[in-house]
Amino acid sequence: MSDESGLGITNFLDIDDLDAAGVEQVLDRAEALKSGADQTQLSQKTLGMLFEKPSTRTRISFETGMTKLGGHAIFLGPEDIQLGHGEPLKDTARAASRYVDGIMARLFSHEDIETIAEYSDVPVINGLTDDAHPCQTLADLLTIREHFDDDVNVAWVGDGNNVGQSFAIGCALAGIDLSIATPPAYTMDETVIERAKELGGDFTVTTDPKAAIEDVDVVYTDVWVSMGQENQREEKLAAFDGFQLNEELLAGTDAKVMHCLPAHRGEEITDAVVESDRAIVWDQAENRLHAQNALLVELLGQ
């Protein structure tokens, strides 16, 4: 296992692998890199990217980021390697870490990325699992920092999924008050809420989206039917009736709207809202690049 980085961590599997100071350190560096600071800090470094799930933003942002930082990224999709099938995960991790300086993995099982991290000799970054999406949270917090002062109130409306769970913990670390509105059957994992509360998170939890967005600065949503849940589609669409971010729900508020993308327009959010001036989703998408670049420099640049 490699030595700890300047952040005090070796791997980045969950957002609360960082403490509050670590989150601020990454966001400060992200702002500096976005503003034009030295972008060649990972010269001759290589990032191995393991993908079980396809992605637009994750692949483009990490691959472009490594190029901008003077390094190189290798994309390894499901057809390129046999994650846990033809070869045990621990063997993939041990072999890959002899070649590359860091591993980013986008997987289904969170236990799988923990196994990769256990057997890797280089830093491992979670590019998404079914339980967590910490890189998205860094981009979200950077976006909120750019648009608002310190006193910010945010609402999460929709599925209590991996993006929402990481974001809830991230809000606790960043000192952001969060209201959470989900249908009763699709709440966030109670252990996640407890972790966030232990970090000082201030939460309001409800099943009423209208109540959740009252007096907030930002309303954040994500897809209701995530990748791999297609067989639950009809059931989930019925359960989320009334949770769509549309002009009617948002009437009377000036809140900005966030979405990690891709958006299923007409389901969790309308086309009119995505294309409105209140949407800051494209800033979020761009900030995946800058936040991850900062993380890469902190983890691989030591």
Does residue 225 register a pLDDT over 60? yes
133 is catalytic: yes
106 is catalytic: yes
Compute the distance between CA of residue 22 and CA of residue 175 in angstroms, rounded to an integer.
Answer: 13
Predicted TM-score (pTM) of the model is 0.96
Residue range 114-126, pLDDT digits in tens = 999 999 999 999 9
Compute the distance between CA of residue 273 and CA of residue 156 in angstroms, rounded to an integer.
Answer: 16
> What integer pLDDT is reported at residue 197 of this predicted model?
94
> What integer pLDDT is reported at residue 12 of this predicted model?
98
260 is catalytic: yes
The whole-angstrom distance between residue 118's C-alpha and the CA centroid of its chain comes to 21
Comparing CA positions, the residue from 236, 279, 240, 242 lying closest to residue 261 is 279
CA angle 11, 132, 216 (to 5 degrees): 120
Mean pLDDT across the chain? 94
Residues 116, 84: contact at Cβ < 8 Å?
A: no
Does 55 belong to an annotated binding site? yes
Does 232 belong to an annotated binding site? no
233 is catalytic: no
Does 56 belong to an annotated binding site? yes
Residues 221, 164: contact at Cβ < 8 Å?
A: no
Does 109 belong to an annotated binding site? no
* Residues facing 279 on adjacent strands: 257
| Residue of 133, 145, 259, 290 marked active site | 133
| Residue of 145, 195, 288, 290 marked active site | 288
The whole-angstrom distance between residue 19's C-alpha and the CA centroid of its chain comes to 16
190-198 helix and 162-174 helix, angle to the nearest 10 degrees: 10
What secondary structure letter does DSSP report for 186? G
Does 29 belong to an annotated binding site? no
State both tokens at 164. Answer: 């929402």
